[in-house]
Structure 1
Amino acid sequence: MPETLSCAVHQPNLFPRLSTLGKLVRADVWVVLDDVQFNARDYQHRARLAAPADPEAQRWLTVPVHRPRGRDSRIGELLLADPAGTHRTVSRLVRQYYGRCAHWPETGELVEEVLAALALNERPAVVAEVSVRAMLHRLGWRGAVVRSSDLPSREGRSQRLADLTAAVGAGTYLCGPGGAKYLSEGPFLERGLQVRYPPPPPLTRERGMRTASALWAFAQRGAAGVRDALAVDCVPAR
């Protein structure tokens, strides 16, 4: 890969937020961070569904998980605790929220991809990754996806991110607002890598949109509207 490629490193999130999509859609490569410790308080196995008429009215959609090694379990090690029950809940709840929206047909199609992964009893990390891929695909993104568990890297947050960026042949690391709070650019500079801080999409400043799943935007605006809201040219096919 040319050194001009950009890379984003992010955990697999279930039906991700717009801020997450806004970062990933700008990257040539998404490194799925699947071998870090699972955080039950994060978005790795759950999403906030926002009501169509009032985005601030939100509820959690959660995929129950089993941690084979307790609190030490890595994201990629998790198992579905109730595949059949989760399939029913996701199907019912998402349709209940967005089934009457103008762009439900295309939104329902991406949800069906996630339901298919649940039906196959895939690991929660895979289910979440499928949800991200489904959204990115409808935005026209054609970048590459690799998993951190398949790449060499050192310990330490910033060192690891720099190693993963270099491992996929990228020359630029895209850092979101959350990562900017702890990131040290030193390990990147040592490798001759650049760090960029793309701003969150303007839509995330509207009420409820910072925490809501992008499903709301897809159902209300359609993929074309979400693409416009992210205000970015998608990565071409390679």
Structure 2
Amino acid sequence: MRPGKTVVITQSNYLPWRGYFDLIRSADEVILLDSVQYTRRDWRNRNRIKTPAGLAWLTISVEAKGRYEQAIDETHIADPAWCDTHIRSIELAYRRAAGFEAISPWLFAAMRSTAREPLLAQVNEVLLREICKALAIEVPITRCTDVLPREDLRRMEPTERLLALAEARGATCYLSGPSAKAYLDVDRFAAQGIAVAWMDYGGYPDYPQLWGAFEPAVSIVDLLLNVGDAAPRYLARQPA
């Protein structure tokens, strides 16, 4: 019997929420599926923070007009000043937060290291890896195009693509977010000896947060800047 291996396959997001990092830490390997089509008004290039005036978007403008078929990892950044703008917004919203002095130096350094990067997926990946380090998440992260050829991946339909990637990495379990229940053919995974498990995003504990009532659907930077080095404990879901 082969040893158990749980694989997560997901698109890269910009400074995603804590559930994304909980998903990653639940895996033995994560594959970034950025060869698929870029979707507008999604989490690939934006996320939200809390401010004194309420929730606010941090958005990286991208070159998308007329490029309806472009992949996430082919999507170019349109605004070279995005980094300075986002850092300033974070400073204004969180400079009074308990974890600001501990977190902001490395977070802002990571953001500045990507400021001249032309591709959105590269920015997302760099920040993802740095935040994983801060959260003590030591899970290998692999690009899908380092697993299978890009053209092969493009020809596949969604379930076939995910199954091929999972098989190529020796998965015994494919862990997915619940939204995939709408299209994933679980029986095809079972036929190849791969179990499918669904991530449960319920039960995360509240944490000390600035600016009014608790808001869970915000970027991981909110958690990091509010609680500092205690952030990993807030990734664990509370028993029902």
Taking structure 2 as the reference length, what is the TM-score of the superposition?
0.85
Asked if residue 126 in structure 1 is aligned to residue 128 in structure 2, the reply is no
Asked if residue 76 in structure 1 is aligned to residue 73 in structure 2, the reply is yes
* Paired residues of 1:34 and 1:148 also in contact (CA < 8 A): yes
**What is the letter of the counterpart of residue 221 of structure 1?**
V
> Residue 179 of structure 2 corresponds to which residue in structure 1?
178
Q: Which has the higher contact order (CA 8 A, sep 6+)?
A: 1
Percent identical: 25
Inter-CA distance 110–187: structure 2 relative to 1 (3 Å threshold): farther
> Residue 208 of structure 1 corresponds to which residue in structure 2?
215
3-state DSSP of counterpart to 2:68? helix
3-state DSSP of counterpart to 1:59? strand
CA distance in structure 2 between the aligned counterparts of 1:69 and 1:169, rounded to whole angstroms:
38
Asked if residue 231 in structure 1 is aligned to residue 227 in structure 2, the reply is no
Asked if residue 58 in structure 1 is aligned to residue 63 in structure 2, the reply is no
**What is the letter of the counterpart of residue 31 of structure 1?**
I
> Residue 200 of structure 2 corresponds to which residue in structure 1?
199
**What is the letter of the counterpart of residue 47 of structure 1?**
N
Deviation at 1:201, TM superposition (A): 5.1
Deviations 1:52-73 (A, max 9, x none): x79xx21110011124871111
Mapping 1:31-180, distance limit 5 Å: 31-51=31-51, 57-67=54-64, 70-83=67-80, 85-108=81-104, 109-118=106-115, 120-152=116-148, 153=153, 155-180=156-181
> Residue 219 of structure 1 corresponds to which residue in structure 2?
225
Inter-CA distance 13–123: structure 2 relative to 1 (3 Å threshold): same
Deviation at 1:40, TM superposition (A): 1.4
In structure 2, runs of 5+ residues without a counterpart are 207-212
3-state DSSP of counterpart to 2:138? coil
Taking structure 1 as the reference length, what is the TM-score of the superposition?
0.85
Deviations 1:21-63 (A, max 9, x none): 1111111111111111111111001111123x79xx2111001
Deviations 1:203-238 (A, max 9, x none): 3789531x31111111112242x3112128xxxxxx
3-state DSSP of counterpart to 1:31? strand
In structure 1, runs of 5+ residues without a counterpart are 233-238
CA distance in structure 1 between the aligned counterparts of 2:174 and 2:23, rounded to whole angstroms:
11
Deviation at 1:148, TM superposition (A): 1.3
Deviation at 1:14, TM superposition (A): 0.6
CA distance in structure 2 between the aligned counterparts of 1:222 and 1:183, rounded to whole angstroms:
37
* Paired residues of 1:76 and 1:123 also in contact (CA < 8 A): yes
**What is the letter of the counterpart of residue 139 of structure 2?**
G
CA distance in structure 1 between the aligned counterparts of 2:179 and 2:202, rounded to whole angstroms:
14
The number of residue pairs the alignment matches comes to: 224
Inter-CA distance 158–106: structure 2 relative to 1 (3 Å threshold): farther
Tell me which structure has the larger Cα radius of gyration.
Answer: 2
* Paired residues of 2:205 and 2:234 also in contact (CA < 8 A): no
